[in-house]
Structures are given as C-alpha cells and as structure tokens.
Amino acid sequence: MYSILHVETSNFYRTLIEKICSDIGAEYSFAKNLDDSLNVLKSRKIDLIITAIELEDSTGEDLILKINDSPYKNIPVVVITGTDSDEYRTRMFSLGIVDYISKKSGNEEIRSAILAYMREDNIFQKMAELKIAVCDDSKMDRYIMERIFTMAGIPNVEYYESGDDLLTSDKEYDIYLIDMVLKDMIGNYVIMKLRERGSEAVIIAISGVAHYKTISNTLNIGANDYIAKPFNNELLLSRIKTNAKNYILLNEVKQLAITDVLTSLYNRRHTMERLEDEIEKSKRYENPLSVMMIDVDHFKRINDEFGHLSGDVVLKKIAESITKTLRDFDIVGRFGGEEFLVILPNTSIDDAYSAAERIRKNVESLKLSKNDIALSVSIGVCQWSGDDLKNLLSEADRLLYSAKSNGRNRTER
C-alpha cells in the first residue's frame, strides 16, 4: 500500500491530508517534529513525505537536510506551505524536493498532486518487473550500473560484456542499455540487429562520444534515447524511468486494443489476425490446425429471465471455463455477442473434437450461484484443409448450426 508521512503542526491540514489519503487509498502517518518524523521513517516503509515549513521544534528545511543525509534520501519530498516566494521556492527545489504546493491551492489541487505521485510510484513498481539488459565492455561501467540498479531496487538486470554475447543469447528484454563503443562491434550494429528482429523494447544508447552526428544517427537507426558518459546516477535513472513509463503505457494501450472488455478474451479483430498467422504457420510447417466456433444456447432466454447483467456474468463464466479447459497456447477470442472462436494450433480434428467435448461438458456443469441457470453451448469444430480463412470459418459456422438444429448442447465435426 502507498504510504505517506505528513509532517505538520496544524490540525486543519492534518485532517485535510488524512482525508485525502483515505479517499485515494493511501496509508497516512503523522509527525509534528523532526524526531517523530525520523521515528516514523525507521518504523515503516514510506513512499512520499509531505512537509510544512513551520514544525514544532524546527523547520521543513531542517527536516529535508536531515533526510538528504539519511538512508531515506530517495523518498520524494513535497512541501505544502503558506509561505510562498520565488526565492524560497528556489531554495527548496535546490534541496531536491519534488514539488512545492501553496496552501492557497484548493483541496482539489493538493489531492491531484498526491494522486499523481501515487500513480508515479505505481509505474515504478511495474518498472521493477521489467527485464533489463546492459551491454558494456567496460567492467567498471558495468559495476557502476549494477550499483545504481541495486540501490534503486531494480532487480531484473543482466549484464553482457560484448555485443555478440547479447545477440546470441536468445533472451529478450524490455529495456536495453547499450554502450556505443564495444570491443567486438559498434553499438549501432547491436541496435540495428535488435530492431531487425522486431524488438519493440526501449533501447538507450550510452556513450562518451557526444558528437551530434553520432547521436542523431544512433537515434535514427532505432535507439529511443541517448545518455552521455560519465553519467549522473539520478539522471540515468530518471531517463530510464521516463522511457520505461512510455513503454509500460504503450503496452497497456496495445493490450486494450486487442482485448474484449467484458470477458478479457481477445477481441474479434485480434482473433482474426491470429487465425491468419496460424494458417500461415501451418502452411509453412505443415502442422495440423483446427478451430471451434462456440455459441451459447438459448442465451436470449437467460437475458430475458435473469436480466442483462446476469447475462454478462454468464458470458464471463463461460469464457473463463473455455480458457481453463484449453492449453496455454490455444487462442480464445470473443467473436460476437455470445459466440467464441477458438484456434487450436498443431491439433488434429480428433484432438480438437475431444477438447470441444471437454468444453461442452464443463460449461454444462457450471452453476450460477443463486439462480441455478442451466447453461450449455453448441460447438462446430473442423480442421483446416488448405482453404482460406473465410472458408474455414464458414465451415465451422455450418457445423455449429447443425449442432443447433440437432438439439443443442452438442459438438459437430
């Protein structure tokens, strides 16, 4: 949980910030003076410090100086104060605070500032899950970077001393930090190779050579950013953070673009794209490929009897059940309202039929808690026989409709 230490003497602001924290789901700790603040910092993990200027026994400035010289120096500090002048602001920012909010700002402004820091922290947590590769032939620089990452609490970093080691390892990373002058090749070659392979990772070039032509060329061939050596720890980290943030947000958007909101399955467009890919793969490797078209039986009745919202719950449950029944590499998409398309790579019609029967039986045994709605699906399943995508889908559809006309809760092949 995101945790805030508030250092303040006014009860009014104490109540205000405490209320904001409880609204946004952050943990609130309180201190009136320097010693209490340090005790709180010692006793629990704090993600953000908010301090006033006038404290019981000292000033916010004393507190910041004390923190800057302690193990807590990386915790962001925000000053909220009634004392406001350009000179004072400048002095506070020069001590490394991240924000300066005037007490004249409305509650909304204070609230959204705190919320923004909380989101930032959330991104940082996600960043800790990213895989990072450092490729640098200098042992010293690898060592420095290792220290920076360790101190920042970023765990998944691997180090390579040559471009060849990196390119021949079959590992993929989310972020690459690549020294431009390696012993065995130039960094640009490594970047080009990574992009050629289709990597959409963040690539940050690092170099002591800072000629504008070199830099612009490196960015043109596919680096996202460039950092000059010798680098400043904090600056290196924030450049990585900024790039990681864009990368995380972009991936979230990409994920949203292929996902069906209700069921979290792939949406129709993405399912079709995947089917095209799988048909291509089957052609190339001559593997069998099968598909299923699944449709919920009498779904209209479920909506009519129990309401649209219960209908939605049913769809989610069925989607979950289908996914659970299949293997990880099978592809499940929501094709229409209550219709699902399943792609089964490397699967013959016999195996696909057995899988379909498992799905059918699992759905049949699903129970919706209070109403005991009887659920079933009909399934058309067929193997790709060299036809194009359209014919494959109409064949699956035709089989689905004969399952319907033959009594529903059936699989036809």
| Distance of alpha carbon 295 from alpha carbon 398, whole angstroms | 12
Q: Does 390 bind ligand GH3 (CB under 6 A)?
A: no
Per-residue buried b or exposed e for 282-321, using 16+ beta carbons within 10 Å of the residue's own CB: beeeeebbbbbbbbbbebeebbeebeeebbebbbebbbeb
Q: Does 256 bind ligand GH3 (CB under 6 A)?
A: no
Torsions phi, psi for 162 (to 5 deg): -140, 155
Piece of the chain touching ligand GH3 by CB under 6 A; list 27-35, 78-86, 119-127, 309-317: 309-317
- Among 296, 318, 326, 359, the residue binding ligand GH3 under the rule CB under 6 A is 296
- Among 19, 119, 183, 300, the residue binding ligand GH3 under the rule CB under 6 A is 300
Piece of the chain touching ligand GH3 by CB under 6 A; list 105-113, 124-132, 238-246, 308-316: 308-316
| Distance of alpha carbon 183 from alpha carbon 186, whole angstroms | 8
CB of 295 to Mg ion, least distance (A): 4
| Distance of alpha carbon 331 from alpha carbon 353, whole angstroms | 16
Q: Does 308 bind ligand GH3 (CB under 6 A)?
A: yes
Piece of the chain touching Mg ion by CB under 5 A; list 17-25, 261-269, 296-304, 307-315: 296-304
Q: Does 363 bind ligand GH3 (CB under 6 A)?
A: no
Q: What angle do CA 285, 291, 295 make, to 5 degrees?
A: 170
Rounded to 10 degrees, the C-alpha dihedral 393/394/395/397 comes to: 90
Task: Report the residue number, 79 or 294, with the smaller CB distance to ligand GH3.
Answer: 294
136 binds, among Mg ion, ligand GH3, none (CB under 5 to 8 A by kind): none
- Among 206, 315, 359, 392, the residue binding ligand GH3 under the rule CB under 6 A is 315
Retrieve residue 213's tokens.
Answer: 């032509």
Tell me the C-alpha to C-alpha distance, in Å, between residue 157 and each of 164, 172, 325: 18, 12, 36
- Among 298, 317, 358, 398, the residue binding ligand GH3 under the rule CB under 6 A is 298
CB of 339 to Mg ion, least distance (A): 5
| Distance of alpha carbon 329 from alpha carbon 408, whole angstroms | 28
Q: Does 400 bind Mg ion (CB under 5 A)?
A: no
CB of 281 to ligand GH3, least distance (A): 31
Among 90, 17, 74, 19, which residue's Cα sits nearest to residue 50? Answer: 17
Q: Does 299 bind ligand GH3 (CB under 6 A)?
A: yes
Task: Report the residue number, 326 or 377, with the smaller CB distance to Mg ion.
Answer: 377
Q: For 229, which DSSP code?
A: S
Contacts (CB under 5 A) with Mg ion, residues 306-365: 338-339
Contacts (CB under 6 A) with ligand GH3, residues 8-47: none
64 binds, among ligand GH3, Mg ion, none (CB under 5 to 8 A by kind): none
CB of 292 to Mg ion, least distance (A): 14
**Residue type at 112 in one-letter notation:** S
**Residues in contact with ligand GH3, total (CB under 6 A)?**
16
CB of 359 to Mg ion, least distance (A): 15
Tell me the C-alpha to C-alpha distance, in Å, between residue 123 and each of 128, 226, 243, 244, 255: 9, 22, 11, 8, 16
Burial (CB count within 10 angstroms: exposed 0-12, middle 13-18, buried 19+), residue 99: middle
Piece of the chain touching ligand GH3 by CB under 6 A; list 156-164, 202-210, 292-300, 345-353: 292-300
Retrieve residue 78's tokens.
Answer: 């925000």
Q: Does 311 bind ligand GH3 (CB under 6 A)?
A: yes
| Distance of alpha carbon 84 from alpha carbon 100, whole angstroms | 9
**Sign (positive/negative) of CA torsion 72, 75, 76, 81?**
negative
Contacts (CB under 6 A) with ligand GH3, residues 319-358: 337-338
- Chain residues binding ligand GH3 by CB under 6 A are 262, 295-300, 303, 308, 311-312, 315, 337-338, 404, 408
- Chain residues binding Mg ion by CB under 5 A are 295-296, 299, 338-339
